[in-house]
Amino acid sequence: MNRIKGNQYINLKGVPCPLNFVKTKLKLETMGTGEVLEVELDDGEPITNVTASVKEEGHQILKVEKADEYWKLLIKKQ
Amino acid sequence: MTKKIYKDNELAGLRTGGIIKQKQKDYFILRTRIPGGHLKADLLKKYSTIAKKYGRDYVHVSTRQGIEIPWIHIKNIPKLLKDLKKLNILKGACGPRSRNLIACPGMSVCRFGFVDTEQLAGKLDSVAFGKEVPKKFKVAITGCLNSCAKPQENDLGFQAQGEPEVDLSKCIGCTLCAKVCEKVCLRGKRKPAIIMDENKRPIYRKKNCFFEGDCIRVCPVNAWKTKMVGFTVYIGGKVGRFPKFGVKIADFVKESQIPKIIRNTIRCYNRIAKKGERFGEALERQDLEKIKEEIL
């Protein structure tokens, strides 16, 4: 699989729910349609909650990947 | 001072339900009902009008999704009843009758809901409300396993459930479905319903599933979908002085079967219970298998 690179990146490790989603949403609002955001999230509720919420907001999730003790989420802004 | 003599037609108003004696002399509480808790904003304004005109400028929001207006003086009841009819405010029940049907907000706004429970409650009001029973009879409809409308605490409870299915061609192998599933099943003391194979493909084991839909919600690419929606049916639940949970009698009952189930359950309750007894108490003397046949 080709390595997808994000246009933007935020590190949300250590940021609790729902603040991690709010920060993701605000970041996405500054971006253009079709641009890709890379988000790093904690294991547990952060990765499952943020993934579900981003999907509900209508964005496309390109990749969900576990890396060591955290998760990487690639979101394409719609 | 002369004592007022109340006419028969004035007293008759008290017996129609929804008017409850207050502990203070000559004062009554008006109990209304809001099926499924869904109340149009315009109607809410009318409640305010009634509370100002007949009560003391406040309402009590009941635990059964009704609005109660206390401090109605007995002399105003006939006029109040006419106003309620004109404003389309629905009276609640008291005494040996079935009560307001309650519901959670449901799928119209809730991310967990499988069914539009509010609207369904509205449609079922005529089937479930105000029927003569030995004591009281409460029905609740809830949109998912979270049980916000507490179906297990009602004489008859419906809990929506959704069976998931996966389209492996869409799956990106992220493993989040197995992750959320494991968490639910651990709390429910079952082995996970979703496990990942060696190629990071999900395997679904229906017998362990709680049908709460967490896998469907979390899936980033919508590979998990709802295959079938239905209702778990609980009977005999109550709270009161001696609480007990309802028992589950069916899974994946269709929405179209609900009116029949409500009618059958009310008939069954009237058949088996003594006066003053709740359905759950009467059920203790019965063979549950036969009751299931009668109701379903």
Domain boundary among B57, B87, B117: B87
Query: Rounded to whole angstroms, how far apart are CA atoms B59 and B70?
Result: 7
Domain boundary among B33, B55, B87: B87
Which residues from chain A sit within 8 angstroms of residue B194, using beta carbons?
Answer: none
How does residue A6 score in pLDDT terms, banded at 50, 70 and 90?
Answer: confident
The verdict on B148 and B266 lying in the same domain is yes
Provide the domain limits for residue B139.
Answer: 102-161+230-295
* Residue B26 burial class via C-beta count within 10 angstroms: exposed 0-12, middle 13-18, buried 19 and up: exposed
Please report whether residue B264 resides in a domain: yes
**A48·B220 Cβ contact <8 A:** no
pLDDT > 80? residue B2: no
Query: Rounded to whole angstroms, how far apart are CA atoms B186 and B147?
Result: 18
Share of chain B above pLDDT 70, in %: 95
The interface predicted TM-score of the complex, written ipTM, equals 0.91
Q: Is A17 an active-site residue?
A: yes
Please report whether residue B246 resides in a domain: yes
The verdict on B196 and B258 lying in the same domain is no
Q: What's the pLDDT at B3?
A: 65
How does residue B81 score in pLDDT terms, banded at 50, 70 and 90?
Answer: very high
Please report whether residue B124 resides in a domain: yes
Q: What's the pLDDT at A1?
A: 45
The verdict on B152 and B285 lying in the same domain is yes
pLDDT > 90? residue B166: yes
The verdict on B157 and B235 lying in the same domain is yes
- Beta carbons within 8 Å of B185's beta carbon, 6+ residues apart: B191, B192, B193, B208, B210
Please report whether residue B67 resides in a domain: yes
Query: Rounded to whole angstroms, how far apart are CA atoms B161 and B139?
Result: 17
Query: Rounded to whole angstroms, how far apart are CA atoms B182 and B176?
Result: 10
pLDDT > 80? residue B8: no
The verdict on B143 and B186 lying in the same domain is no
Please report whether residue B287 resides in a domain: yes
Instruction: Give me the CATH number covering residue B30.
Output: 3.30.70.3340
The verdict on B37 and B53 lying in the same domain is yes
The verdict on B143 and B240 lying in the same domain is yes
Please report whether residue B2 resides in a domain: no
The verdict on B155 and B240 lying in the same domain is yes
**pTM for the predicted model, two decimal places:** 0.93
How does residue B13 score in pLDDT terms, banded at 50, 70 and 90?
Answer: low
Span B40-48, average pLDDT = 97
In tens, the pLDDT along B169-211 reads: 999 999 999 999 999 999 999 999 999 999 999 999 999 999 9
In tens, the pLDDT along A22-73 reads: 999 999 999 999 999 999 999 999 999 999 999 999 999 999 999 989 999 9
The verdict on B214 and B258 lying in the same domain is no
In tens, the pLDDT along B214-257 reads: 999 999 999 999 999 999 999 999 999 999 999 999 999 999 99
Please report whether residue B76 resides in a domain: yes
Closest CA to B292 of B239, B245, B251, B254: B251
The verdict on B121 and B255 lying in the same domain is yes
* Residue A2 burial class via C-beta count within 10 angstroms: exposed 0-12, middle 13-18, buried 19 and up: exposed
Span B141-154, average pLDDT = 98
Span A5-30, average pLDDT = 94
Which residues from chain B sit within 8 angstroms of residue A56, using beta carbons?
Answer: 111
Q: What's the pLDDT at B17?
A: 80
Q: What's the pLDDT at A5?
A: 75
The verdict on B20 and B64 lying in the same domain is yes
pLDDT > 80? residue B41: yes
In tens, the pLDDT along B249-269 reads: 999 999 999 999 999 999 999
**A48·B180 Cβ contact <8 A:** yes
Instruction: Give me the CATH number covering residue B282.
Output: 3.30.413.10
In tens, the pLDDT along B15-40 reads: 668 999 999 999 999 999 999 999 99
Nearest to A64 among B111, B217, B220 (CB): B220
User: Which residue of B lies nearest to A48 if distances are taken between CA atoms?
Assistant: B218
How does residue B11 score in pLDDT terms, banded at 50, 70 and 90?
Answer: low
A:B CB pairs within 8 Å: 26
Length of chain A: 78
pLDDT > 70? residue B114: yes
Span B100-117, average pLDDT = 97
Instruction: Give me the CATH number covering residue B206.
Output: 3.30.70
pLDDT > 80? residue B159: yes
pLDDT > 50? residue B6: yes
Residue where the block lists tokens 């088996």: B272
Task: Note whether B110 contacts A: Cβ–Cβ < 8 A.
Answer: no
The verdict on B42 and B152 lying in the same domain is no
Q: What's the pLDDT at A68?
A: 87
Domains of chain A plus CATH, in order, are: 8-76 (3.30.110.40)
Number of domains in chain B: 3
